[in-house]
Structure formats: structure tokens, C-alpha cells
Structure 1
Amino acid sequence: MAFNKRQTLILERARQSGSVRISDLATELDVSLETIRRDIRPLAEAGEIVKSHGLIGLARQDMEAPFERRMRENFEAKLRIARHVASGIGDGDSVMMDTGTTTSVLARELRGKSGLTIVTNSSDVARTLATVNGNRVYMAGGELHGDNGAAFGRSAIEFVQAFRVRHVVISISAVDPVGGLMDYHLAEADFARTILGCGETRTVITDHSKFNRRALVRVAGFSEVDRLVTDRAPPPEIAERLQAAGTQLEIAP
């Protein structure tokens, strides 16, 4: 079934948040409650959403992919981080990004820019920004991971090493005062570590839930990135380590 633009936005909002108030949708989309209810009715009849007490939510959330579920976790924090980072990226800039839920949110915030050159191993980032506003998107090849649809391995690493970009942005799974920036998967850590050497400005984006976590694989030390962008001030020990490393800490407003 084909949906109109508002209905597509309603579905995207439900996927991001899990559930959303119908009155909030009307406010966000600047239409009346009656209009929103008309848009929602076909979505409910098609089994895409369910309605309950002034709320809508996704149907069959138990069948949702793990990556999509993680996209919703701390979504408002990720959105604040993404908007802050996107504000520093201009039309015509070159950006390299790894896979991650926060980088996927950033990709959506970059849809308002034009003439970008994007290099990524994330099929979600590539799909979001390809053929939009004159962008050029380069997608690394390699073995695809089923969960996040990203490419990893030697071919992906060799591909991105050919580029030099203005902005490198990586997401991170854990920030430990001693271990530094860490990830749970060797292939993802290898890719993130590689692209940090491909840009003029190296930015790490992570929400506050990743602080004081320790993961299996070290990606980089604090001194190996230029800035860390997050949604809340980190614990004192991490803040001290960032300051000692000369890494800029930015709290997204």
C-alpha cells in the first residue's frame, strides 16, 4: 500500500520512538487532530500501527530488527547529538561515517545539506543520503553484517583508505576512563580505527549511556580524536581524561 508524505513521517516517528501521542503528531506536522486521525486510519487498517488511548505504536514490534530497536533507545539524546554535529557540516563538505544508530540519526539530519561527499560502510547511511540534493555517496564493499547491514573486512578497510575527507564521525559502544573508546566487535573496531586516520577533524559521537562501560576491543585513546560530542556531561574521571588528552568535549544543547 502506498502512503502519502505525512503517513510516511508518522510511520518513521513511530519507529523512532516506539509510541507517540496523536496530539504530538498533530503539533509536529502542523495539522489538525482530525487530519492526523484521517492519516492514521489507513495505517492501522493496513496493520502498520496500532492505536490505544490517544497513542499510536508500531504493530509487530517483536518482529523488528535489533538495529531498529537500538535506534529507538535514547533516541532524543541521539537526535540532539546528531543535530549539533550536523550544524557544523556545511554544503559541499566531505564526511566519512561508520555504522551505528547515532550515525544513522546523523545521516537523517544531513538530508538538509547539499553537495555532500559521503564515504561509509553503512548501507543505512548510504541509502539515506544517496541521490539527495546532489550528494555523492561511496559505499565500502565487504562482508555484510545481517544486523546493521554494514560492510566489514579487508576490502572495506582498503576502500576507505583511498579517501581523505574533512570530517570523520564515528559512533562508539563504550567509553572507559582507562580503556578509552571501545567496541564489542573486532571488525567494527578495526573499521572505526582505520577511518580516524582519514579525516581532518575526528569526531566521536555517543550518548551518556555509554560512559563508564568497558567493551572487548579498544578503538582509540582519547588523544586520538579531536572532539567527543554527547548529550550529558560525562563522569568526572572521563572528563579529566578528555581534558588531559586535549580532546574537546561538546554537550549537545
Structure 2
Amino acid sequence: MTQITLSPRQSEILAAARRDGAASISALAASLGVSLETVRRDIRPLVEDGHLVKTHGTVHLPEHGREAPFDRRMRENAAEKRRIARHVAARIADGDSIMMDTGTTTSILARELSARRELTIVTNSSDVARTLATVNGNKVFMAGGELHGDNGAAFGRTAIDFVARFRVRHAIISIGAIDARMGPMDYLLEEAEFARTVLSCGASRIVATDHTKFERTALVKVCDFDGFDLLVTDRPPPVEIAEAIAAAGARWEVAEG
């Protein structure tokens, strides 16, 4: 693989491929706000230089560098994610109402909540729904819409309109990146839009993410720093991010071991 100088769009295309394992060319065009032909021109040198593989209208990383599917991503930074999940779970009592988006940290949080009783859960994640449904008197409301094959979550206008009807005590999201200037971000438009809607539905708005997301920039902004109340993470955030959180009137907490 040779080294080429990437344009901003090419960097975003690679980020999307790493995020989901594969990305359709039509979805990339829509999320980037450009034509299919423009995306194809951006992709061509990436394929020629071995950064991407193109098959049947999609692109993905070469097998030696391709991001693992959702189940393997669950094992990445697993100890840190479990600490974060336990810290968030300690805030949730029997009988609480919770809304969660899809993500490895929120899936681990669902497992940490397995001992709680009579929860009401609203989610677009089939993994969260399966974990918490039909046990301990819980009620689970699962958003409908187009399912993503990798993480088994529903996205799109149908899913957003469904969850927007609810008001819950705790709204909890995970994110792909957090930038000191832009705030919480994600790599796909539909995931960012859904996460933004989740936060708007909670009395307590929580972002749960491990330290590897700090000082990253993704494709789509989820919200400003005043769009959440609490960031739960495994290490103190960098100074600029911590200052931005404080200036917005939000807080951050480190999950201890």
C-alpha cells in the first residue's frame, strides 16, 4: 500500500469504511452531499493504491486492515467500557425509564442493567432490546426502520419519529468522536441524527465514551457541548475538551475501576 495525500472527503470515506466495515457509494454520496460520480472519483485512487477494495457498489478496507464487526468491537477496550457502563448503571434505579442508541458501550451497559427490575427501555438497538426484554418485568420499545447489518440497529426517519414520542428519565448515547471545537460527533449521518434525537428526549442526558474517542473528528456533529449534561469516560478528557464541557454547564466523570 502506497502513501497518498488524502483530501478531506477521502479521509471521511476511509473513516466510514473503518466505522462500519463497509460503506455503500450511494450512502457516501448522500452523507457527503456530493454526486455519485464525485465519490467514485475520490474512491478511485484509494482503490488503486490499496487503501480500499470496491465490490458491487460498496467499498471496504482490505481484509488485513478492515475494522472488525460489531461483536469483535465489543471486545476492544472492553475493560474500560465495562467500567463506564457500571458507572452509568449506578445512576439507574428499578423502575426508571431509559433511552439508548446503538453502540458497543450501550450494549455493555444493557448487560450491566440485567439485574434492574421494571425498567422501561426505548432503543433502536436489537442487541439492547434482546438483552433487556422479557426479564424482570421490563418493558422494551424497539424503534422500527432499516436495520444495519453490522450492529442490528434501526435508523432513518421512522426510527427517529418513533423515539421522539417518548420522554425518559435517562437518555444515553455512545459516540464515535469528540472534538474540542465541534463537540460529540459520529461517522454516519443517520447515527448522528438518531443520537441527537435520543438526547432531546431525556431529563438526564448522558454521553458514555472511552478515552480513545477524545480529540477525534468524525463526519457529522451530534450536538454542542450544552446538548448533554454528563460525559462518563475512563480517563480525564484533554484540557480543551474539559474546558468546553465546563463552559457549556455540563460535567464529566471518570469511571473508576
* TM superposition score normalised by structure 2: 0.73
Partner of 1:116: 119
Match of 2:90 among 87, 90, 99: 87
Partner of 1:172: 175
Structure 1 position 214 matched with structure 2 position 217: yes
Partner of 1:202: 205
Match of 1:133 among 136, 139, 160: 136
Query: Would you say the 8 A contact 1:82–1:106 is kept in 2?
Result: yes
Deviating above 4 A after TM superposition, structure 1's stretches of 4 or more consecutive aligned residues are none
Q: CA deviation at 1:95?
A: 0.1
> What is the CA RMSD across the aligned residues, in angstroms?
1.0
Q: CA deviation at 1:86?
A: 0.3
Structure 1 position 77 matched with structure 2 position 86: no
Q: SS where residue 113 of structure 2 aligns?
A: helix
User: Which one has a larger percent helix, Structure 1 or Structure 2?
Assistant: 1
Q: SS where residue 207 of structure 2 aligns?
A: strand
What is the rounded CA distance, in whole Å, between the counterparts of 1:198 and 1:133 in structure 2?
Answer: 24
Partner of 1:228: 231
The C-alpha deviation readout for 1:97-120, integer Å capped at 9, x for no partner, is 000000000000000100000000
Please, which runs of 5 or more residues in structure 1 have no aligned partner?
Answer: 1-63
Query: Would you say the 8 A contact 1:65–1:147 is kept in 2?
Result: no
Please, which runs of 5 or more residues in structure 2 have no aligned partner?
Answer: 1-66
Q: Which amino acid aligns with 2:223?
A: A
Q: CA deviation at 1:248?
A: 0.8
Match of 1:244 among 231, 242, 247: 247
Q: SS where residue 216 of structure 2 aligns?
A: coil
What is the rounded CA distance, in whole Å, between the counterparts of 1:95 and 1:160 in structure 2?
Answer: 11
Q: Which amino acid aligns with 2:208?
A: I
What is the rounded CA distance, in whole Å, between the counterparts of 2:155 and 2:236 in structure 1?
Answer: 32
What is the rounded CA distance, in whole Å, between the counterparts of 2:68 and 2:132 in structure 1?
Answer: 21
What is the rounded CA distance, in whole Å, between the counterparts of 1:193 and 1:170 in structure 2?
Answer: 9
Q: CA deviation at 1:65?
A: 6.3
Partner of 2:25: none
What is the rounded CA distance, in whole Å, between the counterparts of 1:241 and 1:65 in structure 2?
Answer: 32
- Percent identical: 69
Q: CA deviation at 1:246?
A: 1.1
